[in-house]
Structure formats: structure tokens, C-alpha cells
Structure 1
Amino acid sequence: MPAISFQSVCKTYAASRGAKSPATPLKALDDVSFDIEEGEFFGLLGPNGAGKTTLISVLAGLSRATSGRVLVHGSDVQADYAKARRLLGVVPQELVFDPFFNVREALRIQSGYFGIKNNDAWIDELLESLGLADKANANMRQLSGGMKRRVLVAQALVHKPPVIVLDEPTAGVDVELRQTLWQFVAKLNKQGHTVLLTTHYLEEAEALCSRIAMLRTGQVLALASTSELLRSASSNVLRFKIDGELPPALATEARVTGRIVQLPAHGALEIERYLAAVREAGLKVEDVEIRKADLEDVFLEVMATEKGKKWQMAI
């Protein structure tokens, strides 16, 4: 039995009544179907507005699907919502906290929502594992954004759910928190917990996730193991640094981050063509290297797929 099963899930929002001109309904999810197996570390990737958070909201029971079903260990999130929600621990994107309690009190109250008494031993372990032990008696209002994010993770795990859902858990937080969080979550995954992760940090998804689904405009464009996605990349990547602007002919093909330029490299002749064009433009090339395509390269290739078509892996 899958840990999570999305079965032909659609979500449509009605057009705004206040719009000056007629507007068509927004289809946030369009026939989304895939299973996440028990014990998987699964990545859900896509650009802003792809439907990732909407899908998680449907999973968590915060939003009702227009059609289709979502099951958590066989329990329907609508028909059997109480059981389904006990099986889930969800870390939302937004920083949501109660300003009237300290950290330990917030975790005790969260335990009470699930009918769990005398949970202090597990709460202590969570506080220690997430670097919150010295903040246990601090009021939530006194915490930094990163510390509040840690408390959200602890709240999601306080009832020891078999399925952990992390919606952009490391957005805007420091490197220390990211490392602490991933060490702890990876430990839970090894113990058998299923993890569903959405993130814009694709290096995290590549390092952590065994399988990945990529969404765009509410549709699943790619669904495969991380290793299969990486093997399917159509080219290697030429990477170098320059001072100045690329020639227009190269700029349309390149991914530029500050001084760093990255171009798809299908062969030696193409690499020489790129470098010759840069030299002819009077630019000095530094730190030239050729690397294998990473998940970010695959992601950009998938997102460039013609609208209405699914990406085909070239394996």
C-alpha cells in the first residue's frame, strides 16, 4: 500500500466576481496522479505557481479537490480525515505561531491536539535534535525566523507521524539550520518515515530525494527516480567566468549567474564554438570546466517542454 496516493486530482478555482472583464476559472491542478511508496524520500519540484502548495493543501485537508482522491496509507483525506491527518506531519511555508506560549508549551499543546499525554521525552529529543534545547522556555515572539521555522518542524513531528510533508522548509534560513534539519529528517527517513519535500534548492532535492515529480501549471511533466533524471540529461555543461556581457547569440542559450556562464555542451566542436565566440567578443575566459548535468539543468530542460506535452526522458 502506498504511503500517499494522488488519484486524478483536479483543483479549479472559480473566476473572481469582482473582475472588470470576464475571466476563466483557474485550474491549479490538472489530473495529477502518482503514488509515493512507504519509506520514500520524494521530491515535488516546480516553479512558483506550479501547484505544489495546492497539492499539499489538498493532501493535508486544508483544501478540497474539485475531483479525484488522495489517500494516506489507504485513508481518504476527505472521507476519513481524522485518521488521515493523524498519519501526517506538515511543515507549511508560512511562519505560523502562537505568541502567547513558549516553545515547550507550544509543543505540549500540539501533542494534546493528537491526544498524546506525557510526551516530554520525545519533545526533549526534538528540541535537542533541532537545536532548540536552549530556547525551550523562550516565548515564540522572541525567536528569529529561523528558530520559528525549527519550531514548526518540531510541531509537525511531535506526534511521530509516519508521513512527513515539508513545504519549502529551508526557504530563507541559514546554512546551519539546513544542515541540522536535513540530518534529522534523513535519520527519520532511515527509520522508515516517508518524506515528501518541496523546495527551490535543487541541490537539496538531488542529494536527498530518491524519486522526483516535476510540475508546471498543475500538470506532472516528469516523474522518475533522481538517478534516471540525471542520466537523461541531453548534454554536459560548459562552465566559465567572464567580465562583461555575452554576445547575443550565446546569451539566448546560456544560464548566467553574475560572472558565471553555463552553456549546454553536446560535443567538442560546440565547446570550441562557444569559446571562440567569447574570445571574438573581446572577453577573457577564466576557470573553464566541463561538468555533468545536475538536477537544475534537467529541471530547466523539463520546464522548457512545449506546453501541453509531457517531457520524454532520453534514456
Structure 2
Amino acid sequence: MRCRLKLDGRITTANFCKGDLSIIATRYVSSNSTAYLELFKPTLEEEESGILEYSQIFSKQVGEPVSKVITFSQSSSPSEGFFFASTNGGLSYCTFDESSFREVSHCENAHEGTIVALDYCSKDKLLFSGGYDGALKVWDVRCFGKKSEPLRFVPISSDRCCCIAHDGTSDLHKVFVGTQNGYVCLYDTRVNRDDAIEKFSFDDSISNMLAVASSTLIVSTFSQVYKVNFLLARNTLLYEDSNTCIVGISANPFECSEFLIANRTRRLIVVNFKNGLVKNNVVCKGESYWSKVGWHSSLPVYSAISYKSLEVGLFPPDSV
């Protein structure tokens, strides 16, 4: 089962709506400097032939290019809401349905400059955001928009934040932050000062992180993937490719010991984080290399973005 959507302009990010296989995507057309929020739904699915077709249900032009989109939970629908961040530092809470787009609330200056990281804790209804301004902010989703200030603010040594992962299994106040200069820091968001509990240093900028267990992360840089255990203060090299650049990793909720790597070799690679073994791969047949990758939470279905296309497919495929 594979479906590729070819679109005009550059797809910047996409997320499953989780209740079904619907997808919220964002797109930027540089020729006329126009940004869009879009909703796609599967219109045809034939299990025997492996055919999956999508159609665009709704498209909305937005004022600024979108830097990040996050849905509330893996079982949510677009009508239950989602957040999107813009390159000018704005953060919006929105809803989508089949006929309309509605911005419920908006914080114009959530960050100074581009917001590049969002993570959501469904248990406590908390949204974590990080930006190029070197700040980690915590927002209460239930009252977002009623007050413009975040619950908590943690400065990060004036370094650019690249990604965020929260420790949702044991301590909701613990948040991991990956930075542009190659640090992964563990913060307690109850303390509003730059005082990391623990810190690891890597050779490259941090491109993504996954919290796979309490205080255990999968961390990717441009060429390597590590398993980092903060409690034991150690890291293990899981995957390395000196000939390419790793552009995305995503946890496989269907198989908790696996994660998916997207890289510039036009392949998607599944790696076991217990032993580092490569299990399978899919070759990109689009116009360019993969740039982002994600999993559906309850199905072995991936989404991947290349330059002008969005692909959805079943993983592992029938043949590799």
C-alpha cells in the first residue's frame, strides 16, 4: 500500500489526524510567497491490491509560512484541534472539518523568531514549544488564548532549540531539548532558569529526538543515531552513515523497539534500537530525497515528505 501526492510548492510538515488516515499538511509556494494549511483524506482503499488514494478536502491560505504542526493525540480528529507554529514566532490553536478552517486562538509573539519544535503531553494537556530564540516554553492547552503568557519559560543558554521530547512516563516536568550546537539537555520546567539537570554533547547539530522510555532517548545528528540513557549517563552509537545526512527519525508505535530513519540516499530505513540492526528499507521514487518522516500511532503506516511530494505507505513493504 503506497500513495504519493504531488503538490505545487514545498511541503514543510505533515501529521496524521490519527482517528483515521487523514493528514494535516502545510505547503509553501515560493513563487508567490504563499503558505497553506491543508487537509487530505483517503478516498479509496483496496486492501487486496494495496491501492490507497487521497484527495484534498480543504485548503486554507495562512499569513506566514508554517514551521511546525502538531495534532493533540493519536486518536484525535482534525475537529478536535491542533497547533501550528509560524516562522514569525506566532502559535495558533485551530480546528479543521470537511468544510471549514477555524483559528480558535492565537499568540502572536509566542517566540521571538521561528518556532522549530512542538511536543504535546496528552496526560497533562501541556504543549512544549522551542524556537530560534533559545527558549523552551510550556503552555496549558486548556486555557491557551485566554492568557498570552506561557505557564513556564526556560532559557537555553541563548542557543537555538532544534527539537523537544518530554518524559511522559515518569515525570511530566522533565523535558529534553536538542540544540543547534550539538547538545541534548534535560530540564525541569518547574525551574525557570538555564540549569540543565544533565547534558550530553555531540559532534553535529541535533536533528531529532524520541523519548522511548523514562529518561531514555533516540537522538539523531546529521550522520549518526544514538541511544542515550540519562539515568546511567551514557550513550551508544546505533546507526552511522558517513555518505549521507540523516534528515529525520520517528518512533514506530506498532513495534516499540524500532524507529524509522529518513536520509538523503532516498531511502527509509527501519532500525532496531536494541541492537542497531537495519531491518528494511523503502526507496524514494519522488523528485528528491526525504526530508521528514512520521508514523501513524496505531497502524504500521508511515508518512514521508520529499521536495514536492507526500507519500503514505504500509511498512514494512511486501518487497524491498
- Tell whether the structures are fold-level matches, with TM greater than 0.5: no
* Larger helix share, 1 or 2: 1
Greater relative contact order, per chain length (Cα 8 Å cut-off, separation 6+): 1
**Normalization by structure 2: what TM-score?**
0.29
* Larger strand share, 1 or 2: 2
